[in-house]
Every structure is written in structure tokens, then in C-alpha cells.
Chains A and B, each alone.
Chain A
Amino acid sequence: MEEDFKVIDNYLMVKMPEEIDHHKSSYISENADRFIVRENVSNVVFDFEDTRFMDSSGIGIIMGRYKKISCFGGKVFAINADHRIRRLLMISGLHKIVEIMD
């Protein structure tokens, strides 16, 4: 599952799983944090291409990573988010801190 985390320049790319819930969330958070520290990256990109389900655990993952990197000027991006995931980001207010890209 290491291949779900890739570092390109100053960006950590996280390939999100098909289902994002509490059961999966600690694995994603812990690995992302490990890469952020080890590779010293400032930005994180969450790729939702494969994601068909997400609950508030996904919001928690993004919020937690944002808190870690934003104090060093890092940014969080969301790519390939379908309209359901966009809706979750909007309702939770995360669209204000996450750059949603097509």
C-alpha cells in the first residue's frame, strides 16, 4: 500500500482508497504524517479518483494534515473529487482551506 503515497518535488500525493471511513482513516493519517516528516514536504495532494464512499473520517484526515503543514506555509489540495465528495467538503467548510482542483 506504500504506492498510495508518492512524493513529487515538494508535494505528497495521497491516493485515497475506494472507501474512506474510520476503519481506514488511521492508516492514511499515520502514513501521510510519516512521509511529511521523512521527506520534509510542505504540501499535500489528496487524490479521490478511486473514492466511492467517504464519511466525516475523511474530513478529519484532511483537517489533521492541514493543521500539520499550514503553520509552515504548506497547502492542501483535493483532485478528482466527484460532486458527492465536493458536497462533504462544502458542508464541513473545508473548501475554504482546501484547494479543490479539476
Chain B
Amino acid sequence: MNNEMKMEFDAISANESFARVAVAAFVSELDPTLEEISDIKTAVSEAVTNAIIHGYDGIENGKVKLYCGLDKDVIHIRISDEGRGIEDVEKAMEPLFTTKPELNRSGMGFPFMEAFMDDLEVISGPGEGTTVLMKKKIGCIPWIEDEE
């Protein structure tokens, strides 16, 4: 890794924006496009929100750990909690699957992480907490130009 960053913060919703802005600032040395920054912010926001509302559901004083590493032009992001964990990771990753429809959750958290990052890995088990590993290469020229 050429550059690394670690932090730990309380699992409260006010920290969701703090976490994604911190990652966006950290990756800026790779000179990402606005599009890439936006993708990374959305993915980080999804993972941190999951830790807060699912990982630490009903658990007080939870902490979320965030690690970022830059390896040449690739950003590695690791977001982990020590909360409840996920019983069936495969099911949790299905689009529109949510255990919290009453909270207006869309079930699109993992699908967005998958769509906006190049690589996504989820390590979890009941009572074991959850770790989300994501990678994204910065500076890829898209094959298809955006319409705008």
C-alpha cells in the first residue's frame, strides 16, 4: 500500500456523511473524476448505514471501523462492525431483500455497492459482526461514454 488511513467512530447516523466525506477526501490524491467520487461515497454510505441499522440494531455504544488503503491506482476500503452479523449473506445481497421494510429500507444497499465498486466481499456470520471489503480502480476510461 502506498498510503493508508484508519478510523473508528460511533455507530450513529450523523456519522454516515462524515465517513463518506472522509473517504472521498482520502482518495482525492488519485485524482478521481466526480463520477468516481460519487460512486465511492454511495458505496461507503451503504456499508456504514448497514453497520449502524442492522449490525448494531438494538445494541448500544457500537463502533464502526473504517480502513482505506491506496495501492497504486486502486482504493481498498474495509468497513467493519462487531454487531449481530448476517445469517445468510447471499440472501442479504439479493436486490430488494430487506429485513427492515418498516424503516423504508429499499434492499438496494449491497446491489449499489456491487454496482459502484469493482470488487465486493462480505464476511459475516451470526454474532460475529460484519466486514465489507471493496475495491475500485481509479482513472479507468469508461468504454462507453456517459450520455451527458
Which chain B residues (48-87) contact chain A, with CB distance < 8 Å?
A: 49, 52-53
CB distance from A6 to the nearest CB of B (A): 21
Docked Cα-Cα span, A88 to B41, in Å, equals 13
The reply on A4 being an interface residue by CB < 8 A is: no
Which chain A residues (53-89) contact chain B, with CB distance < 8 Å?
A: 53-57, 59-61, 63-64, 83-84, 88
- Of B106-114, B118-126, B128-136, the segment with at least 4 beta carbons within 8 Å of chain A is B106-114
Q: A22-B16, A23-B13 are in contact. Are A56 and B108 (CB under 8 A)?
A: yes
Docked Cα-Cα span, A23 to B42, in Å, equals 14
Residues of B contacting A: mostly = helix
B interface residues (Cβ-Cβ under 8 A, vs A): 13-14, 16-17, 20, 35, 38, 41-42, 45-46, 49, 52-53, 95, 103-109, 111-112, 115, 146-148
Q: A26-B104, A60-B106, A92-B106 are in contact. List 8 more A-B contacts (CB 8 A).
A: A22-B13, A22-B45, A22-B52, A23-B13, A55-B46, A56-B109, A57-B104, A64-B104
